[in-house]
Amino acid sequence: MWRDHLTEIIVFSLLFLLVSAMGFVAARWRAPKDMAHLDEWGLGGRSFGGWITWFLIGGDLYTAYTFVAVPALVFGAGAMGFFAVPYTIVIYPLVFLVLCRLWSVSHRHGFVTPADFVRSRFDSPVLALLVAITGIVATMPYIALQLVGIEAVLKTMGVTGDNALARHLPIIIAFAILAAYTYQSGLRAPALIAFVKDALIYIVILVAVIWLPQKLGGWGSIFDAAEAKFQATAQNPNDGILLNANNQLQYVTLAFGSALALFLYPHSITGVLASRNRDVIKRNMSALPAYSLILGLIALLGYMAIASGVKPLPGASAGSVDNNTVVPVLFDQQFPDWFAGVAYAAIGIGALVPAAIMSIAAANLFTRNIYKEYLKRDASPAQEANVSKITSLVVKVGAVACIVFLDPQFSIDLQLIGGVIILQTLPAVALGLYTRWFHRTGLIVGWAAGMGLGMWMLYQVASPTRKHFGGSAFPLSEFGFDTTRTIYVGIVAVAVNLAVAALVTLAVRAAKVEEGVDGTEPDDYFADEGDPRVAPGTDRDADSAREPVA
């Protein structure tokens, strides 16, 4: 009953209202004279410095889903759940130079989305449309997953009802408030709230990893309890506190594939493009691995939950359990009510920041690469901003609908599909920043091949509760190998994407098919703050008087 959690509910509600107020105030924080422009509403004026960018990108990548799902996976499967730690370390060196180049060319040309860059680089509206649609489709379930984190907290506090409307009403109210202040303040709202969100998470996790081991008999007892659980249940031979020969390949490919996908997501790129200059990005790519330390500590909460005897709350379907409630139940059992309320607020606010950025990123993709490209080419900056605001509302409604009308467990599986989907933009976006060797036709055909194979492989993956789309671990035996090992679907799909793109490029070049005009120049990829911009729609030949970059 919710009355038994009254203190937790009060603390949670007060902190939630505090950040909501900050979201509305953010419209006046570092605000320009005119917010009716995507540069201002959708990218915060491209003016965020080191600290703001650090909190914004960190708040964008380390979400409520991370807070509840990573330890839940460790609780259920053991060592496999730690794949999130190496991939958040590997990613930063990989994207260090890539994101600097993307920021520079976007700064020079006024690009708002990765599809804007692809449109100019390869002179292909079709390829840009595919990148935009891919980004929107991959982002939608990610937003829905933030609701899963909030639902886990509300369920633990007893804020549920007997029917679908009563059960989801708190989430609907929360996202209505989120939609209101995001509509008004744009990217400035999550940027300001991220300070509070990250501070709460750091405090909660540091207290937990110091306090809980003392209560549970030390780290040795915690790991012994975890090992005993996996040996006793043996539901899956791959579960355990150590990896084995069967799941090592899956672990490596999942970590590496997730790293490649992480900064291809539109919301990740939005946070980067909001930075003031290249140095801000470089410093952040050097400092962001500090979040990986916290992520490792968050993952250990799964083992602590095992040692403390946590039982997950019932799931949506009869006889199932909701492992996403493991961390909230752990805090409810082991901490005073007031501190549990703070922890719940950290999870809830941790959902609002990325959800806001994701909805803005998806809205920008629709506005720039669908609405302006195909529906209203002469749209003014004010019209673009207005369409993006409205689209961001629609995106949030769609995310809420995913939770209300679908089994939440299914929406979690959709996130795995999202990673496979967004990886198919790697050749055009990430490699396109370094080379234009791939022909636009090759990239389109490669995208189709990678997407088709990825969806087929995901369809073949079964789980205990679903015959198809049951995860992203594809059994190599399906390819004819005599092994029980699995591999991450995304890695195979993007490898096929690249191979097909290369073969088609060679074929169309031999046939002398038109390649289009590259709308960028080599020095665009090194431009920095203060360098002259190319006005949107300006012909590059007519802009030869532009000063070269030093």
Q: How confident is the model at residue 542, as a pLDDT?
A: 35
Query: What secondary structure does DSSP assign to 291-339, as a single string?
Result: HHHHHHHHHHHHHHHHHTT--PEE-SSTT-EEGGGHHHHHHHHHS-HHH
pLDDT in tens, 439-465: 999 999 999 999 999 999 998 888 766
pLDDT in tens, 147-181: 788 888 888 888 876 666 666 777 788 888 888 88
Residues 6+ apart with CB under 8 A from 65: 142, 145, 146, 148, 149, 351, 415
Q: Tokens at residue 292, please?
A: 């990986």
Q: Which tops the pLDDT comparison, 412 or 515? A: 515
Indicate the residue type of 344: Y
Q: How confident is the model at residue 314, as a pLDDT?
A: 79
Q: Which tops the pLDDT comparison, 417 or 201? A: 201
pTM for the structure as a whole: 0.90
Indicate the residue type of 474: F
pLDDT band at 130 (very low <50, low <70, confident <90, very high): very high
Residues 6+ apart with CB under 8 A from 101: 433, 434, 525, 526
- Reference 276, options 156, 167, 191, 373; nearest CA is 191
Q: How confident is the model at residue 456, as a pLDDT?
A: 94
Query: Which residues are 321's β-sheet partners?
Result: 314
- Alpha-carbon distance of 78 to 303, in angstroms, equals 8
Of the CA atoms within 13 Å of residue 365, those in its CB half-sphere come to: 28
- pLDDT of 335 > 50? The answer is yes
Q: How confident is the model at residue 538, as a pLDDT?
A: 47
Q: What percent of the chain has pLDDT over 70?
A: 90
Burial of 475 (0-12, 13-18, 19+ CB in 10 A): middle
- pLDDT of 546 > 60? The answer is no
- Alpha-carbon distance of 303 to 67, in angstroms, equals 14
Query: What secondary structure does DSSP assign to 428-486, as a single string?
Result: HHTGGGT---S-HHHHHHHHHHHHHHHHHHHHH--BTTBSSS--SEEEGGGGT-S---E
Query: What secondary structure does DSSP assign to 26-70, as a single string?
Result: GGGTT--S---SHHHHTTGGG-B-HHHHHHHHHHHHS-HHHHHHH
- pLDDT of 539 > 90? The answer is no
- Reference 375, options 36, 132, 123; nearest CA is 132
For the chain, the average pLDDT equals 86
Span of 56-70, 183-197, 482-496 with lowest mean pLDDT: 56-70
pLDDT band at 70 (very low <50, low <70, confident <90, very high): confident
pLDDT in tens, 268-290: 899 899 999 999 998 888 888 88
Q: How confident is the model at residue 409, as a pLDDT?
A: 57
Q: Tokens at residue 430, please?
A: 């990430």
pLDDT in tens, 343-399: 999 988 888 888 889 999 999 999 999 999 999 999 998 999 999 999 999 988 887
pLDDT in tens, 415-426: 777 889 999 999
- Reference 273, options 495, 431, 44, 458; nearest CA is 44
- pLDDT of 89 > 50? The answer is yes
The DSSP element (H or E) to which 123 belongs, if any, is none
- pLDDT of 540 > 60? The answer is no
Are 424 and 131 spatial neighbours (Cβ–Cβ below 8 Å)?
A: no
- pLDDT of 97 > 80? The answer is no
When mean pLDDT is compared over 12-16, 45-49, 399-403, 491-495, the highest value belongs to 491-495
Say which residue the tokens 């968050």 belong to. Answer: 298
Overall average pLDDT of the 519-525 stretch: 94
Q: How confident is the model at residue 64, as a pLDDT?
A: 75
pLDDT band at 235 (very low <50, low <70, confident <90, very high): low
